[in-house]
Amino acid sequence: MKKRVFPVILLSSFLLLYSCNKNVKQLTVLPEKSTLSVAVLKDKIKGGWAGQTIGCTFGGPTEFKFKGTMIQDYQQMIWYDDYIKEIFESDPGLYDDVYMDLTFVEVLERVGLDAPADSFAVSFAKDDYRLWHANQAARYNILNGIMPPASGYWMNNPHADDIDFQIEADFAGMMTPGMINTASEICDRTGHIMNYGDGWYGGVFMAAMYSTAFISDDVEFIVTHGLKPIPEKSRFHQAIIDIIKWHKQYPDDWKQCWFEFEKKHTSEKGCPEGVFNAFNIDASVNAAYVVMGLLYGNKDFFRTMDIATRCGQDSDCNPATAAGILGVILGYKNIPEFWKPAVEKVADLKFPYSNLTLNQIYELSYKHAVILIEQNGGSINDDIINIKVQKPDTLRLEQSFEGMYPTKELLVRKDILSESIKIDFTGNGIVVLGNVKSQCGISTSNYIALLDVYLDGSLSEQVKMPFDFTVRKYDIYYKYMLKNGDHKLEIKWVNQNPDYRIYFKSFVVYSDSPEKPFNPGN
């Protein structure tokens, strides 16, 4: 099959905008109830999962290759009928924003729709798929006895504001049509496993937009209504409300909106890999790119994905979410035919790192949605589903890293064996980045390095650093909210093994106030 390439402006006739289901109206106010046929509800759920899978694959080649810059118009995207199937086989880790969703769906089916947070946490922590950032930090916490919500709390997880839950909350929205508070409650149980504050809000927001997409085809309404659960004082809310404002100000120029956002909202203070780097995996930043795709895409499936991708950074996850939400709006039958063969070729294959196929997922999400509709005051009468639409409640205010300002990074990039890591720093927090490396070329081992960490002369803790990538500790050591001042840190490797090294990558220092800009004239 010949690969197709796409410029930024869509010309092909097979990608013309399709009309949405006639049962779903544009809304200016929230109705008390909404009515869908069984066929329409099933089609919308299928559209959501298919859209997410298509979007993730579409943006995969550019993931984190464009950091702090947009993907230029001359950069062409590819697509062909065997594309998803090939990625399933060659790069299954690309789909972390889908297979994490599927883990949660499997838990709901096995344990019940009221499954507690611990059931979700243990299931994903003990699975064999690869994870990164907040997910991996949470996995390590859980395997070492720190259970949710502590596993996602920012004092225990330097990646609490990262995108992780935002990219795996789709399942909650697709099983709660019109029931935005029910979606938030599910997100509370699952999202605090790995995130807190803006990281949690990102998942709640996405789930809320999915939920709203079942009852409205007005994208601006879906975005603004989906934001209602997020406290107005949160940084996350402020970032998204600015995108809405700039879209109105520059309705035909997504790039101008992107520039305005970059100037105001991209100063990273959480993820230690991003604070002194163009890399930005912050939930609010990448959520803004999702919203830009939705608002400027004007319900055009390709354009929505294309803009969300060209915003850069996490450019596979963002079009996945945008295309998933649009897939619910349109329904599967109204996704342009060009994209469907790639999904249909894998619909009966087990999804990477899952025991479920896409066709099974479609049915499970429908099953779970019907149960929740009836539990929340709706009804099923023959072929008609009556949904009692929920007025969104505002969630509690959570903010990570308050009183913490990154002031210094030192890139060390050194392999350690016998010597200890010694750092003198001034501030109120520190994160030490690194991992365990093999000297003999092995890729699997049960070896665990034990590191005694001394802070200001006293033993702070003993850190376990597994060599195994799946259960690794994401950062060597972190400590926040110290008394601001001078501190001494020493890390000693107590069970040294000549077959391994501790790779000391870098460290980031925080203070209780922002660093003043360097001005050689003063």
Task: Please tell me the predicted confidence (pLDDT) of residue 517.
Answer: 78
Walk along the chain (522 residues) and give the pLDDT tens digit of each residue. Answer: 445 555 443 323 333 333 334 445 566 678 899 999 999 999 999 999 999 999 999 999 999 999 999 999 999 999 999 999 999 999 999 999 899 999 999 999 999 999 999 999 999 999 999 999 999 999 999 999 999 999 999 999 999 999 999 999 999 999 999 999 999 999 999 999 999 999 999 999 999 999 999 999 999 999 999 999 999 999 999 999 999 999 999 999 999 999 999 999 998 778 999 999 999 999 999 999 999 999 999 999 999 999 999 999 999 999 999 999 999 999 999 999 999 999 999 999 999 999 999 999 999 999 999 999 999 999 999 899 999 999 999 999 999 999 999 999 999 999 999 999 999 999 999 999 999 999 988 888 999 999 999 999 999 999 999 999 999 999 999 999 999 999 999 999 999 999 999 999 999 999 999 988 777 876
Residues 6+ apart with CB under 8 A from 491: 420, 421, 422, 432, 451, 452, 453, 454, 463, 476, 477
CB atoms within 10 A of CB 443: 8
Residue 522 lies in a domain: no
Task: Please tell me the predicted confidence (pLDDT) of residue 14.
Answer: 32
Task: Please tell me the predicted confidence (pLDDT) of residue 269.
Answer: 79
- What does the longest C-alpha to C-alpha distance in the chain come to? 78
Same domain, 446 and 325: no
Residues 6+ apart with CB under 8 A from 332: 43, 44, 46, 47, 50, 340
Q: Where does a domain end: 388, 416, 445?
A: 388
Residue 430 lies in a domain: yes
Can you give the CATH number for the domain in which 294 is found?
Answer: 1.10.4080.10
Residue 397 lies in a domain: no
Same domain, 294 and 365: yes
Residues 6+ apart with CB under 8 A from 103: 120, 123, 124, 127, 354
Same domain, 382 and 409: no
Task: Please tell me the predicted confidence (pLDDT) of residue 73.
Answer: 94
DSSP 8-state class, residue 19? P
Whether 293 contacts 209, CB under 8 Å: no
Same domain, 127 and 216: yes
| Cα dihedral 51→54→60→62 (10° resolution) | -70
Same domain, 245 and 305: yes
Can you give the CATH number for the domain in which 492 is found?
Answer: 2.60.120.260
Residue 236 lies in a domain: yes
Task: Please tell me the predicted confidence (pLDDT) of residue 398.
Answer: 97
Whether 267 contacts 248, CB under 8 Å: no
Same domain, 344 and 211: yes
Q: CA 517, CA 514: separation in Å to the nearest integer? A: 9
Same domain, 176 and 58: yes
Three-point CA angle 100, 271, 147, nearest 5°: 50
Task: Please tell me the predicted confidence (pLDDT) of residue 442.
Answer: 85
Total domains, the chain:
2
Burial of 304 (0-12, 13-18, 19+ CB in 10 A): buried
Task: Please tell me the predicted confidence (pLDDT) of residue 30.
Answer: 82
Same domain, 328 and 252: yes
Same domain, 109 and 58: yes
Residue 394 lies in a domain: no
Residue 417 lies in a domain: yes
Q: Where does a domain end: 388, 419, 449?
A: 388
Query: Per 3-state DSSP, what percentage of the chain is helix, strand, and coil (rounded to 5)?
Result: 40, 20, 40
E strand intervals along 177-334: none
Task: Please tell me the predicted confidence (pLDDT) of residue 522.
Answer: 61
Residue 520 lies in a domain: no
DSSP 8-state class, residue 394? P
Q: CA 54, CA 220: separation in Å to the nearest integer? A: 23
Q: Where does a domain end: 357, 388, 419?
A: 388
Residue 399 lies in a domain: no
The token duo for 92 is: 């299954």
Same domain, 196 and 265: yes
Same domain, 170 and 318: yes
The token duo for 260 is: 């305005």
Same domain, 167 and 288: yes
Task: Please tell me the predicted confidence (pLDDT) of residue 331.
Answer: 98
Whether 507 contacts 430, CB under 8 Å: yes
Q: What is the DSSP string of 335-387?
A: S-GGGHHHHHTTTTSBPTTSS-BHHHHHHHHHHHHHHHHHHTT-EEETTEEEE
Task: Please tell me the predicted confidence (pLDDT) of residue 16.
Answer: 32
Domain extent, residue 439, equals 405-511
Residues 6+ apart with CB under 8 A from 60: 87, 91, 94, 316
